[in-house]
Structure 1
Amino acid sequence: MRVVIFGGTGFVGVNLASALLARGHRVMLYDRKQLPEAAHRSLVDHGERFSVVQGEITDSDRIEALIAQGCDSIVLGAAITAGERLERAASSSILEINVMAQLPILTLAIRHRVHRVVNLSSAAAYGAAGQRYQLLDEETPCEPLSLYALSKFASERVVARYAELWGGDFISVRLSAVFGPWERIGKVRDTPSLQFQILAEFDRGAPAILPTPGFKDWIYAIDVAEAVALLLEAERPRYRLYNISSGTSWSALQWGEAFARLHPPLQCRLAVPEEKTFIEQHGPDRAPLSVERMASEFGWRARFGCTESASDMSVWWAQHREGA
């Protein structure tokens, strides 16, 4: 397939590109941000099957020219991933980028007969339901609260409606709490995972001190990439919406402790009362996402749990910490 990933230089996009290239597909990353040099080095060996185009997600003319050259599948991954600070500073931009910028791309996908579009949504769409239910499946009523959550829920509904109106093969996936290789923060992302923040403390030779254990159904970015690749390749998915998650909750503290054991004398622990910590948890703990829809239809389950992801990330960190 020829796949265009919008927002492709973000860490989920880079992991997805790596998975798709390994499966023999052609991948173009489209993003306003440059691809980090270390990530570029890890992908450039795929030659002509890999390319990067720097551009704005709102540049419809340029995007149409790219799609018109030939495109089998599109991944909608461009988004402002906002916490409260960014939500206050860029309220209108969150809706513009996360929802409105998708509309021309969906129209182009229909016009140019793109086979499939996968929209990367978020578990944030469940909102307050995450505290009211013990398990969140795709039929759980959503109660989004933040502008980011509202925008992701709206993006799902827009994608589904376009599919109903024009018959497009469009899917949304709700990603759980993602972490992993190539994660970074920037002007459009101010909610780094606890794992990213733990490694940032380790990078500066400090202990990683967490304000809370940080329980979530964390999902390793490599698992996300494999699940999305599977959906792009599937002949005829049954549903318009899928959860992608590890399906079980464990704490970032456990993960940090497992990572630190691989790199003595690193230390990860909880803060004692009134102790200052540079690590910040974004959003409350919530119920895990059910992955039975992905499991029953495709036989997919996440390969990386807490210890497995810590071990894999340890190898990546040792190889890339200077260039990442």
Structure 2
Amino acid sequence: MKIVVFGGTGFVGLNLAEVLLARGHEVTLYDRAALPPSAQRSLADHGARLTTVQGDITDAEAIDALIAKGCDAIVLGAAVTAGEDLERASPARVLEINVMAQIPILQAAIRHRVGRVVNLSSASAYGAAGQRVAVLDEETPCDPVSFYAISKFTSERSVARHAELFGGDFLSVRLSAVFGPWERPGSVRDTPSLQYQILAAFARGEPALLPAPGIKDWTYAPDAAEAVAVLIEAERPRHRLYNISSGAAWSALQWGEAFAALHPGLECRLASPGEKTDIKLHGGDRAPMSVKRMAEEFGWRARFGCAESAAAMSAWWMQHKEGI
């Protein structure tokens, strides 16, 4: 398939590119940022099957021209992943990129008869509902609170409404607490995962001191990318919304301890009372997401739990340490 990934040189986009290229697809990455040098080296063997296009997600004319060349699927992965500081500084930008910028892409997809569009949403769309139930499934009523959560929930409804009005084969996925290879903070991502912050402390030669255990249904990025690839390739998905998660809750503290155990001299622990730590939590603990829909329809389940992802990330870190 010919697949265009908007936000393709970002964290999730690069993991998705690796998976799609490994599965034999042709991939175009559209992003304002260039492909990082380490990713260029890592993806070089795929040759002409990988194309990168630098452009702004709000440039409707350039996007239409790109889609008009022909593609089988589009992934809407460009987003401002905002914490409270970025929300305060630029709430309009969060909504502009996460919601309004999608509309010209969806309309171009309809005009040029794109076979499948997958919108990358977030578990944050559940919002306060995550504190009220034991497990979050796709039928749980959402209660988004932050501008980021509101924008993600709105993006899902916008994608679904376009499909209802124009007959497009569009769906959304809610990604849960993703971490792993290629993660990096920036001007549109000010909420790095606890795992990234743990590795950053290790890279500075410091112990990783966590303010709290950080319990979530953490999802290793290659697992999330595999699930999105399954949905891109699926002939007739039965739903317009799917949860993508490891399906089990565990703490970032456990993960950091497992990672440190593979590298003598590293230390990960809770900060003692009064002890300073630069590691920040983004959002509180919430219920894990159910992945029953993905498992029953496609047989997909995450391959990496806490220990497995720590071992896999350790191997990746040894190759790409300079990028952290």
Same fold (TM over 0.5): yes
Q: Cα distance, 1:323 vs. partner? A: 4.4
Two-structure CA RMSD over aligned residues (Å): 0.6
1:15 and 1:222 in contact (8 A); partners too: yes
Give the 4+ runs in structure 1 shifted more than 6 A. Answer: none
Alpha-carbon offset, residue 322 of structure 1? 2.1
Render the CA deviation track for 1:232-291: whole Å, top value 9, x for unaligned.
000000000000000110000000000000001100000111111010000000000000
- Residue aligning to 1:36: 36
Q: Which residue of 1 aligns with 2:114?
A: 114
Q: Structure 2: which 5+ runs fail to align?
A: none
Deviation for aligned residue 1:2:
0.5
Question: Counterpart in 2 of 1:292?
Answer: 292
- Structure 1: unaligned runs, 5 residues or longer: none
Per-residue CA deviation, residues 99-153 of structure 1 (Å, 9 max, x unaligned), is 0000000000000000000000000000000000000000000000000000000
Cross-structure match for 2:69:
69
User: What percentage of aligned pairs have identical amino acids?
Assistant: 74
Show the counterpart of 1:199: 199
Letter in 2 for 1:98: N
**Residue 14 of structure 1, CA deviation:** 0.2
Corresponding position of 1:166: 166
Q: 1:37–1:323: 8 Å Cα contact kept in structure 2?
A: no
Secondary structure, aligned partner of 2:206: coil
Distance 2:190 2:268 in 1: 22
Contact 1:137 1:290 in 2 (8 A): yes
In 2, distance between residues paired with 1:322 and 1:154? 37
1:25-174 superposed matches below 5 A: 25-174=25-174
What CA distance in whole angstroms lies between the structure 2 residues aligned with 1:24 and 1:81?
A: 30
| DSSP 3-state at the match of 2:4 | strand
Q: Note the alpha carbon deviations across 1:140-194, whole angstroms, 9 max, x for none.
A: 0000000000000000000000000000000100000000000000000000000
Q: Give the match's secondary structure for 1:322.
A: helix
State the AA in 1 paired with 2:89. A
SS of the counterpart of 2:173?
Answer: strand
TM-score of the superposition, structure 2-length normalised?
0.99
Corresponding residue number in structure 2 for 1:209: 209
Q: How many residues end up aligned between the 2 structures?
A: 324
Q: How far 1:70 sits from its partner (Å)?
A: 1.1
Aligned residues of 1:3 and 1:26 also touching (Cα < 8 A): yes
Distance 1:97 1:220 in 2: 25
Give the letter aligned to residue 180 of structure 1. Answer: G
CA contact (8 A) 1:210 1:277 kept: yes
- Offset, 1:313: 0.2
Question: Is 1:224 aligned to residue 224 of structure 2?
Answer: yes
CA distance in 2, matches of 1:131, 1:277: 26
Q: Deviations over 1:59-84 (max 9, x none)?
A: 01111111111111000000000000
**3-state DSSP class of the match of 2:118?**
strand
